[in-house]
Structure formats: C-alpha cells, structure tokens
Amino acid sequence: MLGIVRQKMLEQSLKKIRPAVAVLRSYSSAAKQMNVREALNSALNEEMSADSKVFLIGEEVGEYQGAYKITKGLLDKYGTERVLDTPITEAGFAGIAVGAAYYGLKPVVEFMTFNFSMQAIDHIINSAAKSNYMSAGQISVPIVFRGPNGAAAGVGAQHSQCYAAWYATCPGLKVLTPYNSEDARGLLKAAIRDPDPVVFLENELLYGESFPISNEVLDSSFCLPIGKAKIERKGKHVTIAAYSKMVGYSLKAAEILEKDGIDAEVINLRSIRPLDRSTINDSVRKTNRLVTVEEAFPQHGVGAEICACVVEESFAYLDAPVERIAGADVPMPYAANLERMAVPQVEDIVRAAKRACYRSVPNEAQHCWEGAASF
C-alpha cells in the first residue's frame, strides 16, 4: 500500500519535470529522440487503444509497471481486465494466453527474460506454432510472446541465452529482433496485428538507448513489414549481417573499417523468421564477402543458416569464405573479463571483415591453406 503511494508521488514529481524537458527538446535539433523502452511502451499503448481484444499478461506487467518498465502506465490506463499480473508460472500463463488466442483474443505475453520461456516452450511450439497447420486453418493463434533476450550485464549463465535460433527453427512461428526505436515501434505493432504467433526478442541493454525518430514512425498507424531486413549502412566491399544489439556494434565496426578503406554494408536483419534471404543474397552478390554477427551460441545458429543460404544461392559470387562472429561456445561466465570474452566485441567484427577482404592476412587457418595452394 505504502509502496504504491510512494510510487504515485514519484510519478507526480516526474510529471512535473517532464514538460520542462520536452520544452528543452523542441528548442534543440529538429529530429526527435526516443529510447527503445518508450518505443515499445508507445506501441503497446497504441495497439491496446486501437483493438480491445489486445491484452497484456505476464509477471509484474501491471502494478510493478513492468520488470523493465516496458509496460509502465498501461495498468492505470487500461485496468486490471486488460493488464494481468500473473504468478510465477510460465507454463500456466503462456498456455492460458494461447487458449485465449484460440478463442480470438490477442494476447501479448511478457516473459521476464526469454530464459524463462523455456518453462513454456511446449506451448509456444506445440500449442501455438503448429495449430493453424494441424487444424488446416481452423485455429489461428494471434499471439505475441515478447521480452528481453540474450546477454545482459553480469547476470550469469542462466540469464543470458539468446533464443533466436531455437524459435526460428519452427515453421508456424515468426521471430522478430528489433534493434533501434523505429524497429521496436514498427515491428511490435506489426507483431500485434499479425494473425500468427510471433516471438519478439528485445534486448535489455538497448532499452535505455535513444535513437532519432521521424514523425512517420511516431504516427499510430506506423508499421514495419515482417520478413524484411533493412540496410542500415550501404557499402560495397563486405556485407555484415547482424540482429539486435550486434547491429549497433556492426555499425561501429563499419566506421573503423572505413578508416582502412573498407566500405562495409551493414544489414539489420529485423526478422529471423521469415529470414530476408533475398536482401542478404542481393547484398552478397554486390560485395562478394560476408560476415555474420550474433551474440548467441555459435553452433546451429542464425549465422550458420545465413551462411548455408548464401552458399546455396550465391556461391559463385563469394570471393572469400563466409566469416561467422558469435558468442563464445561456453555458458556465460560472471567475471567481467571472462564475460567480455564470451560476447562479440567491435574489434572481433572488424577483424573478421578484414579477413573476408584480404585473403593474404596471415592467421592460423591461412597457414593450413598455404601448404595446399602452393602452385
């Protein structure tokens, strides 16, 4: 009781500060800024306002205002019938949400992190993804499963896994990975409007990051197409394909590479399933070199799928083997120095891009080939 009163007082004092900040903003540069958290919150708000069938369900989404404050203010606005706090029972509440979707409602399920989605994975795969197929179209499942995915900072092995590859394997699911605020708004709105089950993989460390945002993106009808990647940076020497946080790292790597005369094209995948194979292949056919970047475990990952697809479709265009940058093949350690080694860093992406561009750059693997190709 007291906690709620305290929180309301804090909110009221914040409300007093905010208008002043907004005034300041309008005097600065024309481009508006929005962080990913605000982007997601505004998308949820608009979609709930537009369609009374949309409701939120998950742990701490209501009174706590969201474990990561993504659902802040929505309980106050839409009430307890549409913003539902659940007990800590993922299998139960995910199953309930899928059942509600069978009936025709549009649940947005929050997993506090996708690590906990494993408790409910049977409902995501067997109850949601496959139902439209098994029922020959009678039962469609317009549900969204969203939440932070992948590594955070110092949260250890059980709280750091990326599930993009796992969910993207399954036909019947759509898997989206927003990077910036425009992605967050456009893809979440598209996901909520989509009649199929969507796994929406956010990133905790991106929630607080601000990005410039246009008026078009701010419009309540704004929506991004599902299954289309975006070329964040055009280039001609090497393609770097990444998703989520690694898009930001890839853009930084591209700036560094530019100084060395390497013009990198950075693709923001946005959608892991459907994977935008044509954008990836078109880019590789232009640059002839590819680096894939993901934070996830390397084996059977998104990079492996991209590599296979490029080898199948554009083999003749490749001038170098596909390079793959991924998380280390170990459970996530806690110690800061080990953690740093367990996730890709900007310099890893730079090094891989250079390898893809200069075949004569010496490295371990190169020594093996030198012997074979000595004619």
Partner 1 sequence: MALSYLRSSSSSSANLKLLSSAVSIRRPISTDTTPITVETSVPFTAHQCEAPSRSVETSSSELLNFFRNMALMRRMEIAADSLYKAKLIRGFCHLYDGQEAVASGMEAAITKKDCIITAYRDHCIFMGRGGTLLEVFAELMGRRAGCSKGKGGSMHCYKKDSNFYGGHGIVGAQVPLGCGLAFAQKYSKDETVTFALYGDGAANQGQLFEALNISALWDLPAILVCENNHYGMGTAEWRASKSPAYYKRGDYAPGLKVDGMDVLAVKQACKFAKEHALKNGPIILEMDTYRYHGHSMSDPGSTYRTRDEISGVRQERDPIERVRKLILSHDLATEKELKDIEKEMRKEVDDAIAQAKESPMPEPSELFTNVYAKGLGVESFGADRKEVRATLP
Q: Give catalytic residue positions.
A: 90, 159
Sequence-distant (6+) residues with CB within 8 A of 347 are 253
* SS3 of residue 146 by DSSP: strand
If one asks whether residue 171 binds partner 1 (CB under 8 A), the answer comes out as yes
Q: Is residue 145 classed exposed, middle or buried when 0-12, 13-18 and 19+ CB atoms within 10 A define those classes? A: buried
- Residue 334 contacts residue 156 (beta carbons within 8 Å): yes
Which residue, 181 or 314, is less far from partner 1 as judged by CB? Answer: 314
Single out the segment in contact with partner 1 by CB under 8 A; choices: 78-86, 157-165, 324-332, 363-371: 78-86
If one asks whether residue 104 binds partner 1 (CB under 8 A), the answer comes out as yes
Chain residues 192-231 in contact with partner 1, contact rule CB under 8 A: 194-196, 225-227
Cβ 283 to partner 1 shortest distance, Å: 17
If one asks whether residue 79 binds partner 1 (CB under 8 A), the answer comes out as no
Cβ 145 to partner 1 shortest distance, Å: 14
If one asks whether residue 127 binds partner 1 (CB under 8 A), the answer comes out as yes
- Count of residues engaged in binding partner 1, rule: CB under 8 A: 48
Can you tell me which of 89, 158, 215, 363 binds partner 1, judged by CB under 8 A?
A: 89
CA-CA distance, 140 to 196, in Å (whole number)? 7
Cα 205 → chain centroid = 11
* CA-to-CA separations, 244 to 85, 138, 261, 267, 296, in angstroms, rounded: 28, 34, 26, 11, 11
CA-CA distance, 253 to 242, in Å (whole number)? 12
150: left (phi over 0), alpha (psi -120 to 50) or beta: left
Q: How, if at all, do strands 230-233 and 106-110 pair?
A: unpaired
Sequence-distant (6+) residues with CB within 8 A of 197 are 98, 101, 124, 128, 129, 141, 142, 143, 144, 145, 172, 173, 174
Question: Cis bond leading into 274, ω under 30°?
Answer: yes
Can you tell me which of 36, 44, 54, 101 binds partner 1, judged by CB under 8 A?
A: 101
CA-CA distance, 343 to 365, in Å (whole number)? 22
Single out the segment in contact with partner 1 by CB under 8 A; choices: 31-39, 85-93, 288-296, 314-322: 85-93
Q: Is the sign of the CA dihedral 217, 223, 225, 227 positive or negative? A: positive
x/- string (CB under 8 A) for partner 1, residues 131-160?
Answer: xxxxxxxxxx-x------------------
x/- string (CB under 8 A) for partner 1, residues 42-61?
Answer: -------------x------
If one asks whether residue 74 binds partner 1 (CB under 8 A), the answer comes out as no
Single out the segment in contact with partner 1 by CB under 8 A; choices: 23-31, 127-135, 206-214, 347-355: 127-135
Can you tell me which of 73, 99, 298, 333 binds partner 1, judged by CB under 8 A?
A: 99
Which residue carries 């078109």 as its tokens? 282
If one asks whether residue 311 binds partner 1 (CB under 8 A), the answer comes out as no
x/- string (CB under 8 A) for partner 1, residues 232-261?
Answer: ------------------------------
CA-CA distance, 208 to 143, in Å (whole number)? 26
Can you tell me which of 51, 255, 260, 312 binds partner 1, judged by CB under 8 A?
A: 312
If one asks whether residue 105 binds partner 1 (CB under 8 A), the answer comes out as yes
If one asks whether residue 102 binds partner 1 (CB under 8 A), the answer comes out as yes
| Residue ranges that bind partner 1, judged by CB under 8 A | 55, 81, 84, 86-87, 89, 91-105, 122-123, 126-127, 131-140, 142, 171-172, 174, 194-196, 225-227, 274, 277, 312
